[in-house]
Amino acid sequence: MKMAFVHLHVHSEYSLLDATCRIPELVARAAELGMPALALTDHGVVSGTIKFYQAAKETGIKPILGCELYVSPRSRRTREAIKGEPNYYHLVALAQNEQG
C-alpha cells in the first residue's frame, strides 16, 4: 500500500520575505510528486487563496485553505519583550469546511 504525503504548512509569494514559491509552480510540483492535496498557509494573509484554489482544482489536487496566524500572549500592541518569554507565537489554522 502506497502512503500519500500532503504538506499542511506551505508559504507562497504572498508570505513576503519568507517564501518565493509562485502558486502555479507550487501546485504543478505537488501534482508531479503525486500529492492528493496541498495546504496554503501564508503568514497573516489569505490573499493567494482564490488563485491557489483555482490552480489546485485545475490540477486535480484538493486545496486546503489556511493561514499562519500570529498569537500574542499579551496584547497585539505590546512591543516590549519580557525576558525569557516570546513576544508572539505562530499558529497554523486550516479550514475544515465553509463554517470554519
For residue 28, what are the domain limits? 23-94
46's CB contacts (< 8 A; 6+ apart) are 65, 67
Query: Does 53 map to a domain?
Result: yes
- Per-residue pLDDT for 35 more than 70? yes
Residue 18 belongs to a domain: no
For residues 31-57, average pLDDT: 96
> Residues 72-87: what's their mean pLDDT?
72
User: Is 6 a member of any domain?
Assistant: no
Instruction: Give the three cell numbers for residue 39.
Output: 495546504
* Residue 54 maps to a domain: yes
Task: For residues 19-24, give the mean pLDDT.
Answer: 94
Please report whether residue 13 resides in a domain: no
How far, in Å, CA of 37 to CA of 42, rounded?
16
The total number of structural domains that make up the chain? 1
Evaluate if residue 81 carries a pLDDT over 90: no
Q: Give the mean pLDDT of 69-77.
A: 78
14 domain-assigned: no
